[in-house]
C-alpha cells in the first residue's frame, strides 16, 4: 500500500531497452491503456524529464512513492508492480 494515497490503482510496469542506444522505456499498463516514458542514460546517470538518478533502482523506488505522471483529471500513475 502506498502511504498517503487513497485507493491507489495498481499499474503493471515494464522497463525495457529503447530503440535508441543507452535509452530505456518505462511502460505502464492499466485500464486498457498504455503510457510510455523515456529514460536516457547520460554520463552514467538515468534521466527522466528533469530528474536524475544514479541507478535504475533509485528511479523505480522514487516513482513508487511519487507519481511518474498526473493526468489533467488528477489520476496519478506510480511504478508499483512489475509486469509479468
Residue count (the chain): 84
Q: How far apart are CA 6 and CA 77, in angstroms?
A: 13
Residue 73 forms part of a structural domain:
yes
- The grid cell for 82 is 512489475
Q: Is residue 37 part of a domain?
A: yes
Residue 32 lies in a domain: yes
The answer to whether position 5 is within a domain reads no
How many CB atoms neighbour CB 62 within 10 A? Answer: 14
CATH number at residue 64: 3.30.505.10
Q: How many domains does the chain have?
A: 1
Backbone angles phi, psi at 57, to 5 degrees: -60, -40
Please, which residues have CB within 8 angstroms of residue 35's CB and are 6 or more apart in sequence? Answer: 27, 28, 69, 77
> 20 lies in a domain?
yes
Residue 59's domain comprises 12-82
Which tens digits make up the pLDDT trace of 33-48? 788 888 998 999 999 9
74 assigned to some structural domain:
yes
- The 8 Å CB, 24+ separation contacts for 38-45 are 39/15
Residue 7 lies in a domain: no
Q: Look up the pTM and report it.
A: 0.72
Q: What is the mean pLDDT of the chain?
A: 76
Amino acid at each position: 500500500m502506498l502511504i498517503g494515497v487513497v485507493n491507489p490503482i495498481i499499474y503493471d510496469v515494464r522497463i525495457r531497452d529503447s530503440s535508441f542506444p543507452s535509452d530505456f522505456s518505462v511502460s505502464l499498463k492499466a485500464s486498457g491503456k498504455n503510457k510510455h516514458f523515456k529514460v536516457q542514460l547520460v554520463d552514467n546517470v538515468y534521466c527522466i524529464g528533469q530528474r536524475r538518478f544514479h541507478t535504475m533502482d533509485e528511479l523505480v523506488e522514487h516513482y513508487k512513492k511519487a507519481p511518474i505522471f498526473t493526468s489533467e483529471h488528477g489520476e496519478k500513475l506510480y511504478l508499483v508492480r512489475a509486469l509479468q
